[in-house]
Amino acid sequence: MNWSRLAWLGAGILVVALLLTSQPLRRSRLAGPERTGEEPRVQVVVDPDSGRTEEMPLEEYVQGVVGGEMGRLPSAEGREEDWPEAAYAAQAILARSFIMAWLEENPDKPISVDVTEAQAYRPDNITPVIQRAVESTRGEVIQYRGKPVKAWFHSYAGGATASAKEGLNYEAEEPGYVRSVELPENEFAPPDVKDWSMSVPLGELQEKLAEAGVDVGAVQDVRIDELGPTGRVTRLTVTGTQGSQSMHGAEFRLAVGPEVMKSTLVDPGSFRVVEERLVAEGTGFGHGVGLSQWDAYKMAKEGKSPEEIVEAFFQDIEIVKLWD
């Protein structure tokens, strides 16, 4: 990367001190009171094509979600290897919190395995390490003011996590448990999420935007109008032969494709139209809200407990044990 990340991270970010330690995996005391109840069961749409559902214990579902959202990593030798157990366990707490919030809002509705609607679910990716990680946090749920939270997460924050409004274009009131956290350099994050570039033909961009309901004709220019506190694109204008339209950066990223434009944390100087293509350079992967998985990986390597990892990304929360 040939541009300074500090120049566009912006101000207003709360700093979390990540204290290094060489101690083995440990567990912090739960922030909230322990309450023992019965483990819920959940209806899961296990076959989206046929709509077939399957009822299962919630902890079994959480194992499949951790397998789907983290899975395993390719090693340098071409084999697959597990994430650190504490990182899996932190993801399990988030997955469990998400489904508990879902059950409160949708008590009679099966949960989708489509990541655009809910959480990925891949039981074929479950490993013994994932099973241990889920079991080690059994019943643990993140609560804010007595309610389970929408436990957002993403792959890599690129140095700073975002508010829900900045990263997701969240239209409701900003959740009180979400905070923006500045994070140190991460030696574990893969190169393709630390530094990425995109080059999209304007004709292809026009088609993608039209599919998203943005029709300005043949695209001629895309201009960044506004950056959020962490430097993410929050407002841009697309200009075409039939006019101009303003869009939130998160909306634009989803239209372009989240695997193409990996985040809205871009270098403004690199974001331009060149020879009938929109080009840009950036860092990070995902919307940037909540837990950053690769930073959770780093914290786990440093000896942080699952609860400490979760608490690093959220504020004013309690992690309560709802069943044994």
pLDDT tens digit sequence for 77-109: 677 899 999 999 999 999 999 999 999 999 889
Q: What percentage of the chain carries pLDDT values higher than 90?
A: 82
pLDDT for the residue 1: 47
pLDDT for the residue 36: 57
The answer to whether the CB of 283 falls within 8 A of the CB of 263 is yes
Mean of the per-residue pLDDT values of the chain: 90
Whether 50 is covered by a domain: the verdict is yes
111 and 39 inside one domain: yes
Q: What is the number of domains present in the chain?
A: 2
- Inform me whether the pLDDT recorded for 32 exceeds 90: no
Q: What percentage of the chain carries pLDDT values higher than 70?
A: 88
pLDDT for the residue 7: 39
153 and 263 inside one domain: no
Whether 132 is covered by a domain: the verdict is yes
Instruction: For residue 21, give every residue at least 6 positions away whose Cβ sits within 8 Å of its Cβ, in sequence order, or none.
Output: 302, 303, 304
What does the pLDDT average to over 266-286?
97
Return the exposure string of 105-142: e unless at least 16 CB atoms fall within 10 Å of the residue's CB, then b: eeeeebbebeeeebbbbbbebbbebbbebbebbbbbbb
Whether 1 is covered by a domain: the verdict is no
pLDDT for the residue 42: 96
14 and 31 inside one domain: yes
275 and 247 inside one domain: yes
Instruction: For residue 140, give every residue at least 6 positions away whose Cβ sits within 8 Å of its Cβ, in sequence order, or none.
Output: 30, 92, 93, 96, 306, 307, 319, 320, 321, 322
Is residue 26 very low, low, confident or very high in pLDDT (cuts 50, 70, 90)?
A: very low
Whether 298 is covered by a domain: the verdict is yes
The answer to whether the CB of 39 falls within 8 A of the CB of 57 is yes
Can you tell me the distance from the alpha carbon of 258 to that of 254, in angstroms, rounded to the nearest whole number?
5
Whether 21 is covered by a domain: the verdict is yes
Rounded to an integer, what is the distance from CA 78 to the centroid of its chain? 26
48 and 182 inside one domain: yes
What does the pLDDT average to over 122-131?
96
66 and 200 inside one domain: no
Name the nearest CA neighbour of 37 among 324, 289, 273: 324
275 and 291 inside one domain: no
Whether 237 is covered by a domain: the verdict is yes
Whether 317 is covered by a domain: the verdict is yes
pLDDT for the residue 117: 86
Whether 53 is covered by a domain: the verdict is yes
176 and 220 inside one domain: no
156 and 264 inside one domain: no
Is residue 115 very low, low, confident or very high in pLDDT (cuts 50, 70, 90)?
A: confident
Structural domain boundaries, residue 59: 6-191+286-321
pLDDT for the residue 74: 77
Give the end-to-end CA distance of the chain in Å, rounded to a whole number: 48
User: Residue 261 class from Cβ within 10 Å (0-12 exposed, 13-18 middle, 19+ buried)?
Assistant: buried
33 and 149 inside one domain: yes
23 and 157 inside one domain: yes
150 and 230 inside one domain: no
pLDDT tens digit sequence for 176-212: 999 999 999 999 999 999 999 999 999 999 999 999 9
